[in-house]
């Protein structure tokens, strides 16, 4: 049977990286089975759903390359289907109208709780054969005895006692269908074969299976994914991590890195760490997903992004970097050797934003020095700056090799440890102590600019005490 999966976000918030992982696993499972991946917007909660969130979710998925095989559907546009399904359940005798007041339900729940029982509808209206009116809700006649057992691709056999399950409301008193009903009807109508979703939905599954059975729908495959946790082992949220996909794009993480990182949240393949989408389609096995919560480690994402950035051709790297350079106010066309500078700096930071920031001093004048670095290395370095400046001006050829040689000679002549010689020059050239090897750094500028920057550092030293 063709596998059909779906990602069913509720547009009540921006696309969250936990959600992207659910979408990814659905996508990969469908693709590796030559099936279909669908998106369904679950926007029945009109109070909390917005078009902006819907747009944010759909655009985010498309930005990361998780595209559905059919246009997304919206629950808000499918009420006829739910209405028909409700009629079918009523005709089958598997549902009943209930007119219990809120007060009665509250009292009943309080009484159950005071006896230490799980609050649950007591079935008062189950056999009253009430007719619908503006005060009635429609409830599912859930079997009261026995067990509901289903097989979960991640968790194995899952068992619920029917006695623990409520007579679920299918239609509210205003006639609107509830979340569980819509979810079940849509999975059937969209031809879904496999429901892959977060473990937070596990307790919904037996309820939804009862609705399915009442409607005579075929059963589905299920996989409930472990929750994504922050470093503090609590459920991932804005409090313990950056959760919005857009924020990761804005920092310059590649889509492929995010996919790689998300795939590893709860799944692994030996000690292989670097995966692209195509590898996942080959290698991923839903049955190998772990049950325990998966901790999201931002340092690991940096490490992965470093790898993915390094694997890009220079041209692709530069294409991806350009928007970040422009945002950083860098006009890279102004320099003849801009490619050389970018190449020298491309692994300086794990993100494109970081690399662009590091490139600023190579393309624009520096107007300040990192204070800590200046206090530690620049202060008192006048003699070193002047000596090295003289040596550099005496060079016949201006390239990394000849500059390295001059620096070596200066170090021997002044008998200084490397940082004492290199760091003042590095700070004069870039404003901080972070740069590639000093010979390479200097070679990225012409001699006139080196002189300007060393002169500026000497002037700064003359004006500070
Ligand atoms: N709409 C639900 C959510 O956003 C998902 C429901 C499902 O996958 O079945 O959590």
State whether 298 and 410 are in the same domain.
no
pLDDT at 191: 98
State whether 402 and 429 are in the same domain.
yes
Taking the C-alpha atoms of residue 291 and residue 439, their distance in angstroms, rounded to an integer, is 52
State whether 33 and 147 are in the same domain.
no
State whether 114 and 156 are in the same domain.
yes
Which residues does ligand 1 sit against, CB inside 6 Å?
8-10, 42, 183, 195, 197, 201
64 in Cβ contact with 259 (< 8 Å): yes
Distance 123 CA to ligand 1 centre (A): 28
State whether 285 and 344 are in the same domain.
no
State whether 332 and 382 are in the same domain.
no
Taking the C-alpha atoms of residue 363 and residue 330, their distance in angstroms, rounded to an integer, is 6
Q: In what order do the strands lie in the sheet with 137-140?
A: 95-98, 137-140, 169-171
| Torsion, Cα of 420, 422, 425, 431 (10° steps) | -90
- Pocket mutation for ligand 1, best pick of 4, 5, 9 (most atoms within 8 Å of C-beta): 9
Atom of ligand 1 nearest to the CA of 7: 8
Taking the C-alpha atoms of residue 317 and residue 342, their distance in angstroms, rounded to an integer, is 9
- Could you list the residue range(s) of the whole structural domain that residue 406 is in? 371-462
State whether 84 and 140 are in the same domain.
yes
Give the end of a domain, one of 224, 241, 272. 224
State how far the alpha carbon of 284 is from the alpha carbons of 32, 262, 276, 312, in Å: 8, 12, 11, 24
State whether 65 and 106 are in the same domain.
no
C-alpha 355: how far from chain center:
21
State whether 319 and 294 are in the same domain.
no
pLDDT at 238: 87
CATH number of 430's domain: 1.10.10.350
State whether 101 and 215 are in the same domain.
yes
Taking the C-alpha atoms of residue 372 and residue 204, their distance in angstroms, rounded to an integer, is 56
State whether 412 and 436 are in the same domain.
yes
Report pLDDT digits (tens) over 99-114.
999 999 999 999 999 9
Taking the C-alpha atoms of residue 205 and residue 222, their distance in angstroms, rounded to an integer, is 9
Taking the C-alpha atoms of residue 42 and residue 44, their distance in angstroms, rounded to an integer, is 6
CATH number of 144's domain: 3.40.50.620
Give the end of a domain, one of 224, 254, 278. 224
State whether 170 and 195 are in the same domain.
yes
Q: Please identify every stretch of the chain with a pLDDT value under 70, giving residue numbers as ranges.
A: none
Atom of ligand 1 nearest to the CA of 22: 8
- Pocket mutation for ligand 1, best pick of 8, 44, 180, 205 (most atoms within 8 Å of C-beta): 8
Q: How many domains is the chain partitioned into structurally?
A: 4
pTM here is 0.92
Q: Which residues are catalytic?
A: 238
């Amino acid at each position: 049977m063709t596998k059909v999966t779906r990602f069913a976000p509720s547009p009540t918030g921006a696309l969250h990286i936990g959600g992207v992982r659910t979408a990814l696993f659905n996508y990969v499972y469908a693709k590796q089975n030559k099936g279909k991946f669908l998106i369904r917007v679950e926007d029945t909660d009109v109070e909390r759903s917005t078009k902006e969130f819907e747009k944010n979710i759909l655009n985010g998925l498309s930005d990361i390359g998780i595209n559905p095989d059919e246009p997304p559907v919206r629950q808000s546009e499918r009420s006829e289907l739910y209405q028909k399904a409700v009629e079918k359940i009523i005709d089958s005798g598997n549902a009943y109208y209930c007119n219990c007041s809120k007060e009665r339900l509250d009292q009943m729940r309080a009484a159950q709780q005071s006896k230490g029982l799980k609050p649950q509808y007591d079935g008062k209206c189950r056999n009253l054969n009430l007719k619908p009116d503006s005060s009635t809700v429609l409830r599912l006649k859930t079997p009261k005895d026995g067990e509901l057992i289903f097989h979960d691709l991640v968790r194995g056999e899952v068992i619920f006692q029917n006695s623990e399950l409520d007579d679920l409301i299918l239609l509210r008193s205003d006639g609107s269908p509830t979340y569980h009903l819509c979810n079940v009807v849509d999975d059937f109508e969209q031809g879904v074969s496999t429901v892959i979703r977060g473990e937070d939905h596990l307790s919904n599954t037996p309820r939804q299976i009862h609705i399915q059975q009442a409607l005579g729908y075929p059963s589905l495959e299920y996989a409930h994914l472990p929750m994504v946790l922050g470093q503090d082992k609590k459920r991932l949220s804005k409090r313990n991590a950056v959760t919005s996909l857009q924020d990761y794009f804005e920092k310059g993480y590649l889509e492929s890195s995010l996919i790689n990182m998300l795939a590893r949240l709860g799944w692994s393949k030996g000690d292989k760490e670097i995966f692209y989408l195509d590898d996942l389609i080959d290698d991923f096995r839903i049955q190998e997903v772990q049950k325990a919560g998966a901790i999201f480690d931002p340092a690991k994402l940096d490490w992965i992004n470093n790898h993915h950035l390094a694997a890009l051709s220079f041209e692709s790297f530069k294409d991806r970097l350009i928007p970040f350079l422009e945002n950083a106010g860098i006009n890279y066309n102004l320099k003849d050797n801009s490619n050389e500078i970018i190449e020298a700096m491309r692994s300086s930071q794990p993100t494109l934003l970081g690399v662009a920031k590091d490139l600023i001093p190579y393309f624009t004048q520096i107007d300040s020095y990192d204070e800590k670095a200046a206090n530690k290395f620049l202060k008192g370095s006048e003699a070193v700056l002047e000596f090295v400046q003289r040596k550099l001006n005496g060079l016949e050829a201006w390239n990394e090799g000849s500059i390295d040689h001059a620096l070596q000679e200066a170090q021997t002549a002044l008998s200084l440890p490397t940082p004492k010689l290199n760091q003042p020059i590095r700070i004069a050239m870039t404003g901080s102590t972070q740069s590639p090897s000093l010979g390479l750094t200097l070679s990225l500028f012409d001699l006139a600019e080196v002189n300007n920057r060393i002169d500026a550092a000497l002037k700064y030293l003359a004006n500070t005490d």
